[in-house]
Amino acid sequence: MRTASVARLSVRLEGPTRGRESESKVRDSRLIGRIVALAAVIVGVAAVAIVLLNSGSPYKVKAVFQNASQLVKGDLVQVAGAPVGKVTDLALTPDGQAAATLQITDGGYKPLHKGTVATVRQASLSGVANRYVNLTLAGPDAPEIRNGETIPASDTHSAVDLDQLFDIFDPQTRESLRGTIRGFDTLYGARSQQLARAYLFLNPSLASSSRLFSELDFDTPMLERFITASSKFVTDVAQRRNDLSGLIDHLATALGAIGDQKASLAQAISLLPPFMRRANTTFVNLRHALDDLTPLVNASKPVAPKLRRFLAQLRPLAHDARPTLRDLAALTLDPQHHNDLVTLTNSTIPVRDIAIGPVNVGGTSRPGAFPDSTQALLTSTPELGFARPYAPELTDWFNSFGHSGVYDALGGVARSAPSVNAVALVNGLLTIIPPELRPMALTSAASIGQRNRCPGAVERNPGDGSTPYHPPGYDCDPTQIPPGQ
């Protein structure tokens, strides 16, 4: 009983303590929530204030152009084709230039940085009020252009109109150009549809031209030298204007003659597209050949200076070789006498047929001389292979045999001195050795019956076993060597 009373008392004492702790936690969580809500309200008010301040003072800069290029208020300001603002005002500067006020409305491009280039461009050639200002942005590390500051004329470009281009020509040139345009109208007016189809190929042509100009721009010094040389050439041509006028007159006559051949010219032009398609395929394949040619060009660079000196020395030879080349041309082709190489080649056609074959001889078809010789060589390959190790002895024999022959007043003479020791001195008399005793008498000075020598057996044995040579598969006898070895 006493234990149960103590337990109930402890529970009653702990209950109020836990209630006070939970109420304290609730008050703390409410306080944190109020602080977070107050911070969110402050951030929202700051954002609204920033928006209101920005909307109240728009970001504007001035761009000074040498020529307004028919800009009007409301024209777009673009960056990479995307609109970022508009032209809000146009004014004239004290030095006679145009000042355009550009308002940038896209916040992602504010502020601009110094070095930004402004260019007036045309959206198309179909109208007048179709201009816009294109901005080429500077790097973000450049200083900022503050609101109201100016982009100087050194960083702006005006548009070039066609009328300005024509103003550079004098009245006579403009009249000639007008006549040329009218001539194009007369020439292509009835073939406008064909000309429109031809324009479909203009875009690939311009793309190829762009790559060509990129390559030319890559080698600027070479292009400058080319322009300088072209200028000198044009100057020389201008100094001979009288001769040039005669050339133009003859050219007009030639073009008139070409115009009389319209049908043939139309046929030639109709054959041009297939030719160009084939040429295009050839050029595409040639591209891989040029890649393979690059190592050759790199390897030729050290040789090029030496080749220049060689060509300089070759020039006198080329000059002196002109008579020889003329004689060679007459030897190759002489239509008057028909005793040239062409006539000889035509006369050797039967020989070619006999050499290549097959030919009909006596009603029997036989292979030509070359195929028959090829078959004979293939058949004699084993014999040639067997004789190959004996080639040194055979060559030495030919050499010795050739040196043994001489010429005298009566003709060719061969020196030959065979010596056979078939006699013996007996009692002061030369007595013929009987055949049965000859092997015994000739043993020390000669050897007989050697009909199966190995290659190199005729040479003295050096002691290293190199001679005689016993090839594998040969049935020669290496013991058959000349006496004295």
In angstroms, the CA 220 to CA 218 distance is 6
Q: Please indicate, yes or no, whether residues 157 and 230 belong to a single structural domain of this protein.
A: no
Q: Which among 347, 371, 402 is the end of a domain?
A: 347
Q: Which among 315, 347, 379 is the end of a domain?
A: 347
Q: Encoding tokens for residue 477?
A: 């006898």
Q: Please indicate, yes or no, whether residues 142 and 199 belong to a single structural domain of this protein.
A: no
Distances (CA, A) of 168 to 161, 171, 180: 12, 10, 17
Question: What does the pLDDT read at residue 356?
Answer: 81
The two beta strands, 150-151 and 359-361, are unpaired
Q: Please indicate, yes or no, whether residues 129 and 210 belong to a single structural domain of this protein.
A: no
Question: What does the pLDDT read at residue 7?
Answer: 37
Q: Please indicate, yes or no, whether residues 154 and 77 belong to a single structural domain of this protein.
A: yes
Q: How confident is the prediction along the chain (485 residues), in pLDDT tens digits per residue?
A: 444 443 343 334 444 444 555 555 556 666 666 676 676 667 666 654 554 445 456 888 888 888 877 788 888 888 888 888 888 888 888 888 888 888 888 887 888 888 888 888 877 665 566 788 888 888 888 888 888 888 888 888 887 776 667 777 788 887 888 888 887 777 676 677 777 777 777 777 777 777 777 777 777 788 888 888 888 888 888 888 777 777 888 888 888 888 788 888 888 888 888 888 888 888 888 888 888 888 888 888 888 888 888 888 888 888 899 999 988 888 888 877 777 888 887 777 677 777 887 878 778 888 888 888 888 888 998 888 888 888 888 887 777 666 556 666 776 666 555 555 567 667 878 777 777 776 666 665 566 777 888 888 877 777 787 888 888 888 888 888 876 55
Q: Please indicate, yes or no, whether residues 128 and 154 belong to a single structural domain of this protein.
A: yes
Domain assignment present for 482: no
Domain assignment present for 284: no
Q: Which among 281, 315, 347 is the end of a domain?
A: 347
Per residue, what are the HEC states of 302-334?
A: CCHHHHHHHHHHHHHHHHHCHHHHHHHHHHHCC
Q: Please indicate, yes or no, whether residues 62 and 52 belong to a single structural domain of this protein.
A: no
Distances (CA, A) of 135 to 90, 99, 132, 157: 17, 15, 10, 10
Q: Please indicate, yes or no, whether residues 66 and 148 belong to a single structural domain of this protein.
A: yes
484: phi > 0 → left, psi -120 to 50 → alpha, else beta; which? left
Domain assignment present for 40: yes
Q: Please indicate, yes or no, whether residues 40 and 62 belong to a single structural domain of this protein.
A: no
Q: Please indicate, yes or no, whether residues 47 and 75 belong to a single structural domain of this protein.
A: no
Question: What does the pLDDT read at residue 15?
Answer: 46
Domain assignment present for 395: no
pTM above 0.75, yes or no: no
Q: Please indicate, yes or no, whether residues 50 and 64 belong to a single structural domain of this protein.
A: no
CB–CB of 456/432 below 8 Å? no
Q: Residue 92 is part of which domain span?
A: 58-161
User: Concatenated DSSP letters for 107-140?
Assistant: GGG-S-BTT-EEEEEES-SS-SS-EEEEEE---T
Domain assignment present for 138: yes
Domain assignment present for 270: no
Domain assignment present for 157: yes
Q: For the chain, what is the domain count? A: 4
Q: Please indicate, yes or no, whether residues 38 and 72 belong to a single structural domain of this protein.
A: no
Distances (CA, A) of 191 to 135, 264, 412: 42, 18, 90
CB–CB of 156/119 below 8 Å? yes
Question: What does the pLDDT read at residue 415?
Answer: 57
Question: What does the pLDDT read at residue 86?
Answer: 85
Q: Please indicate, yes or no, whether residues 110 and 135 belong to a single structural domain of this protein.
A: yes
CB–CB of 425/419 below 8 Å? no
Question: What does the pLDDT read at residue 441?
Answer: 64
